């Protein structure tokens, strides 16, 4: 078995490539899988938990938090919290709700398998035999199913841009709106793609051309959201004006 068996895990870990603990856990899973080590069961369970924590931290409401309050929440609590913060249980489609229920059962089964057979998290009888490849595959595939389900739901969720830890590149569709309508004022001029000049002690300059959206996202998230709302409003007005002009021309014709 290789990590080709778990494309959902690889995709999620690639998405959060700047998360050090997730990457370390992923590397441990990769090594355990390659060596056919039963520790891949522990790693698979751990990677689900790390992903759940990322999702909950990213989407949880400060006003009505669902993050587990226990000092050491168990595996099921983290997955349940991720499902709740993604609002997956609010879907009125009965078949979809049954799918959510089945993932809860899958979570419980993976946790039980780790508790019974994972060699890393708890000490075992030193003379126990290794599990079969089918047991290891079941654990990794179960984890992959849960992570795929949660990660895809996360990608469709509305994030809080003020406190999101997602990288700038994640919101390219929003940056385009800002950069099309917001510029940096220099005197009486407005520069849509500003060039910043930094004066060195020697008198030389370092120039840096940067998008307005990048400046705002990296330096002031609240200002970024304000600019986004203003740009969206301007874009909507332009669309409305274009529709009105088109209708007038059509009526005149």
Based on the domain organization, do 112 and 189 belong to the same domain? no
Q: Is residue 140 part of a domain?
A: yes
Positions of the chain with pLDDT lower than 50, given as ranges: 123-130, 249
Based on the domain organization, do 16 and 133 belong to the same domain? yes
Rounded to 5 degrees, φ, ψ at 124 are -120, 170
pLDDT digits (tens, 9 = 90+) for 180-239: 998 877 655 666 677 888 889 998 999 988 899 999 999 999 999 999 999 999 888 776
Based on the domain organization, do 59 and 183 belong to the same domain? no
Query: 189: helix, coil or strand?
Result: strand
Based on the domain organization, do 12 and 108 belong to the same domain? yes
What separation in angstroms does the CA of 145 have from each of 10, 100, 224? 12, 12, 35
CA dist., res. 129 & res. 127, Å (int):
6
Q: Which residue in 147, 132, 200 sits closest to 15, CA to CA? A: 147
Q: Decide which of 155, 190, 213 is a domain's last residue.
A: 155
Q: Which residue in 165, 171, 155, 162 sits closest to 18, CA to CA? A: 165
Based on the domain organization, do 39 and 62 belong to the same domain? yes
Based on the domain organization, do 87 and 26 belong to the same domain? yes
Q: Is residue 96 part of a domain?
A: yes
Give the model's pLDDT for residue 142: 82
Give the model's pLDDT for residue 240: 61
Q: Is residue 160 part of a domain?
A: no
Q: Decide which of 127, 155, 183 is a domain's last residue.
A: 155
Q: Which residue in 26, 5, 30, 2 sits closest to 14, CA to CA? A: 26
What separation in angstroms does the CA of 220 have from each of 51, 163, 190, 200, 216? 27, 10, 20, 26, 5
Q: Is residue 163 part of a domain?
A: no
Based on the domain organization, do 178 and 109 belong to the same domain? no
Give the model's pLDDT for residue 125: 44
Based on the domain organization, do 186 and 140 belong to the same domain? no
Give the model's pLDDT for residue 249: 45
Q: Which residues form the domain of 112? A: 3-155
Give the model's pLDDT for residue 7: 92
Based on the domain organization, do 193 and 118 belong to the same domain? no
Based on the domain organization, do 135 and 238 belong to the same domain? no
Q: Is residue 161 part of a domain?
A: no
Q: Decide which of 122, 155, 188 is a domain's last residue.
A: 155
Total domains in the fold of the chain: 2
Based on the domain organization, do 29 and 112 belong to the same domain? yes
Give the model's pLDDT for residue 3: 72
Q: Is residue 204 part of a domain?
A: yes
Based on the domain organization, do 10 and 124 belong to the same domain? yes
Q: Is residue 162 part of a domain?
A: no
Q: Is residue 202 part of a domain?
A: yes
């Amino acid at each position: 078995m290789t990590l080709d068996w778990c494309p959902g895990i690889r995709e999620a870990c690639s998405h959060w490539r700047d998360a050090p603990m997730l990457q370390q856990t992923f590397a441990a899973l990769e090594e355990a899988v390659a060596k056919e080590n039963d520790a891949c069961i522990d790693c698979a369970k751990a990677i689900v938990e790390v992903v759940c924590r990322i999702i909950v931290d990213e989407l949880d409401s400060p006003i009505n938090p669902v993050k587990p309050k226990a000092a050491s929440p168990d595996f099921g609590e983290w997955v349940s919290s991720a499902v709740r913060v993604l609002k997956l249980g609010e879907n009125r489609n009965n078949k979809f709700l049954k799918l959510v229920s089945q993932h809860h059962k899958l979570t419980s089964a993976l946790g039980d398998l780790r508790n019974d057979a994972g060699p890393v998290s708890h000490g075992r009888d030193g003379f126990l035999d290794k599990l079969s490849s089918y047991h290891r595959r079941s654990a990794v595939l179960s984890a992959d199913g849960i992570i795929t389900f949660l990660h895809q739901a996360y990608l469709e969720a509305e994030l809080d841009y003020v406190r999101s830890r997602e990288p700038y590149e994640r919101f390219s569709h929003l940056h385009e709106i800002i950069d099309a309508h917001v510029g940096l004022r220099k005197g009486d001029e407005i520069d849509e793609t500003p060039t910043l000049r930094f004066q060195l002690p020697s008198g030389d300059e370092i120039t840096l051309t940067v998008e307005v959206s990048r400046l705002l996202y990296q330096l002031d998230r609240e200002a970024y959201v304000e600019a986004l709302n203003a740009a969206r409003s301007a874009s909507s007005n332009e669309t409305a004006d274009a529709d009105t002009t088109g209708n007038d021309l059509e009526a005149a014709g």
